[in-house]
Amino acid sequence: MSIIQHLVVEEFGRHIGKHQERLRVTDLKTGDKLVEAPLLHLESVVIASRGVSISADAIAACTERGIPVNFLDSRGNPFAALYSAGLTGTVLTRRAQLQAYDDRRGRDAAAAFCIGKLRNQCNLLRYMAKYRKTAAPETFDELRLLADEVLDHVTEIERLAGDTADAVRFELLSAEGRGAQRYWAGIRLLLRDDYDWPGRQTRGATDPVNCALNYGYGILYGQVERVIVLAGLDPYAGFLHADRSGKPSLVLDLIEEFRAPVVDRALLSLINKGGALVVDDKGRLDEATRKLLVSKVLERLDSPVRHAGKQQTLRSIMQQQARRLAVFLRGEQAAYQPFVANW
C-alpha cells in the first residue's frame, strides 16, 4: 500500500473525519469508506470541490501536527487555508518583514523574485529546446532565441535604481511581463497543434492548457503558503505584489521562482507523453484530468534535483528558500538569492 503524503479530495459529497490516527474519507450518501491516510505520514490536505465536509476532530488533528488544510475552487483558485496558530513563527521575524517593506531589503527581495522567475523560464525553454536540436532545428533555434530574450530582462532588472519595493515595482512588473510574453511564445512552440492554444490566460480561461496551468498553480500555491508559515513569515505581507485586503502577497511573490520548474515542466511532460487534458461544457477540467494534474505536480515537488551541490527535492528547496528569506529580512544574511533550477 502506498503512503499518502498529500490527501486531495475533489469529489462532491465527501466527508473527511478522524478515525484513530488516520484521516478517513467517506461517501456522505452511502457511508462507504473511500480512503484512509495515516496522520503520521500526512503533509497536507487539499479540498478542491464544493460539497466536501471536514470534522472538527480532523481539523484539530491536522493543526496539532502542523498539517495545513487548503481549499480550492473547481478552477484551482485558492480561497481559504487552515493551519495551526503555533506555526506562525517568531514576532521578531514578522516585525523585520514589515519593516523591510520600506527599505532596501524589500526592494532587493522583490527584484530577486522577478529574477528567479525569469531565469527559470529561460532555463526551461533551453531544456526543452535541446531535445529538438536534431529533430526540429528551426524550433530549436527559435526556442534558444526566445530564451535569450527572456534573459535580457534580468539584466534590465539588475540595473534598476530605487531603494524600496514601491520605487521599483512598476519597472519590475513591466520587465517580468515583457519577459513572460517571450516565454509563453516559446511554450506555444512546445505544445501539440491539436490544443490550439490561445496564449496565456488566467481568470476566465476555458481552454485545456490554461485551465491546467491555473489549476496546477493553485496546488502549488498551497504548498508555498505552508513553507512561508513554517518559516515564521506573514503570507499577506509581500514585496513584489502590492498589498490588498485578503491578498496573500508574499505567497504570490515566492511562488514565482517555482512556477516554471514545478507546474510548467510537469504539464509539458504530461502533454508530451500523450496525456489528455479534458474540459467539461463549463470550461473546467474534468475530474480525471484534475486528479492526474494534482498527482503530476505533487510528484514533481517530490522529485530530486541537483541544487547547492547535492540532490534535493523541490519541496525541500522551497522550504529552504522561505527560511533564507526570513534570515535575510532579519538582517542576518547579506542577500537573498532566488532558486534557479539546473536543467
Smallest CA-to-CA distance from 6 within 35, 52, 37, 40 is with: 37
| Pairing state between β 52-54 and 78-82 | unpaired
Task: At 334, list the grid cell.
Answer: 547579506
In this prediction, residues 180-203 reach a mean pLDDT of: 91
Question: Does position 86 have pLDDT exceeding 70, yes or no?
Answer: no
DSSP codes of every residue in 110-145: HHHHHHHHHHHHHHHHHHHHHTTTTT-HHHHHHHHH
Question: Given this model, what pLDDT does residue 192 score?
Answer: 84
The predicted-structure confidence for 257-272, as pLDDT tens digits, reads as follows: 999 999 999 999 999 8
Smallest CA-to-CA distance from 44 within 289, 298, 256 is with: 298
CATH architecture of 91-329: Up-down Bundle (1.20)
Mean pLDDT of the chain: 91
Q: Amino acid identity of 254?
A: L
| pLDDT grade for 214, boundaries at 50, 70 and 90 | very high
Question: Given this model, what pLDDT does residue 323 score?
Answer: 94
Mean pLDDT comparison of 79-93, 116-130, 192-206, 267-281, highest-scoring range: 116-130
Question: Does position 334 have pLDDT exceeding 70, yes or no?
Answer: yes
| pLDDT grade for 273, boundaries at 50, 70 and 90 | confident
Smallest CA-to-CA distance from 128 within 166, 203, 183 is with: 183
In this prediction, residues 278-298 reach a mean pLDDT of: 90
| pLDDT grade for 194, boundaries at 50, 70 and 90 | confident
- Using CA atoms, how far residue 22 sits from 17, 61, 293, in Å, is 8, 9, 25
In this prediction, residues 240-263 reach a mean pLDDT of: 92
Please, what's the b/e burial string for 48-77 (b: 16 or more CB within 10 A of its CB; e: otherwise)?
bbeebebeeebbebbbeeebbbbbbebbbe
**Percent of all residues in the chain with a pLDDT value above 70, rounded to a whole number:** 98
Tell me where in the chain the CATH 3.100.10.20 domain(s) lie: 6-67
Smallest CA-to-CA distance from 296 within 262, 321, 330 is with: 262
The predicted-structure confidence for 316-327, as pLDDT tens digits, reads as follows: 999 999 999 999
| pLDDT grade for 85, boundaries at 50, 70 and 90 | low
Task: At 73, list the grid cell.
Answer: 475552487
In this prediction, residues 305-328 reach a mean pLDDT of: 93
In this prediction, residues 237-257 reach a mean pLDDT of: 91
Tell me where in the chain the CATH 1.20.120.920 domain(s) lie: 91-329
Question: Does position 83 have pLDDT exceeding 80, yes or no?
Answer: no
Question: Given this model, what pLDDT does residue 244 score?
Answer: 80
Question: Given this model, what pLDDT does residue 129 score?
Answer: 95
Mean pLDDT comparison of 72-76, 88-92, 107-111, 270-274, highest-scoring range: 107-111
Question: Given this model, what pLDDT does residue 107 score?
Answer: 97
Please, what's the b/e burial string for 5-41 (b: 16 or more CB within 10 A of its CB; e: otherwise)?
ebbbbbeeebbbbbeeebbbbbeeeeeeeeeebebee
Query: 6-67: what CATH class?
Result: alpha beta
Q: How far apart are CA 43 and CA 3, in angstroms?
A: 11
The C-alpha R_g of the chain, in whole angstroms, comes to 20
Question: Does position 1 have pLDDT exceeding 80, yes or no?
Answer: no
Q: How far apart are CA 275 and CA 258, in angstroms?
A: 22
